[in-house]
Structure 1
């Protein structure tokens, strides 16, 4: 094992902990929608985001899911092929498509949402109302810090510190 000591132990890195919790939660929920609806993780995320923010373009979907264009394109193709979303040509710009849930997509979304909300409530039951509100506020602050202060500087700047 390497004897060099990090100034912050790995288990205290915010991104590492977020990643672990997100992966564990996703690995718990994914088998439900995979077995009941034959959906992949990117397809489910795309369906959920479209349900929340429709109509969306593929570019907007990629931004809201923090996914690359290739994953989003594959998820869109799967969802269209399965009849869960519609891809309509944008009347104002024929180069773009507008994504919306179909009636079947709404049914599938509602089924998975019902399950996911139950899991979310069980997970957050470990926190009292004040802790949950504080967690959400803290997540908002960290997200804002990442978007407005860190990403705009570029990763190269952090090598110089």
Structure 2
């Protein structure tokens, strides 16, 4: 028996990929053009703001990012003076990463604009719609084997 032809407009992974790219583009442009940040760097600033001082492994888990991507982003952020690393006194092989004052300032500026964008994006959705959207995202993420937290 032949499978019906795949229609991209009805293929959920493709629809989600296109939506993710469309939604991420304005934030990526803001980060890059105004602050010289990549999306990965911005996400690490956000994780550190939310969680405080963390190891790179903890950042990788919290941001659902591959450790190589986290390592590159941490190096970039450190070079820009937005984070600092300190050795773990109990395990010298491990370092903690934390926001600098400059990093916190940049995080707050980007976060303010990102929140405005998010509000515009979801303005036509009711509270009930948003709750349903969050539930659906969680279910899809779990089904795909991800861990948003």
The two structures share one fold, judged by TM-score above 0.5: yes
CA distance in 2, matches of 1:134, 1:125: 15
**Structure of greater relative contact order (alpha carbons < 8 Å, 6+ residues apart):** 2
Query: Which runs of 5 or more residues in structure 2 are unaligned?
Result: none
CA distance in 1, matches of 2:13, 2:75: 31
Residue equivalent to 1:41: 39
Residue equivalent to 2:30: 32
CA distance in 1, matches of 2:4, 2:70: 39
Tell me how large the CA RMSD over aligned residues is.
Answer: 2.1
Q: Where does 1:73-84 land on structure 2 (aligned, <5 Å)?
A: 73-84=71-82
Residue equivalent to 1:21: 19
TM-score, structure 1 as length reference: 0.80
Displaced runs of 4 or more, over 4 A: none
**Larger deviation, residues 108-117 vs 17-26:** 17-26
Q: Tell me the SS of whatever aligns to 2:76.
A: helix
**Larger deviation, residues 115-124 vs 95-104:** 95-104
Question: 1:17 Cα shift?
Answer: 2.2
Query: Which runs of 5 or more residues in structure 1 are unaligned?
Result: 149-161
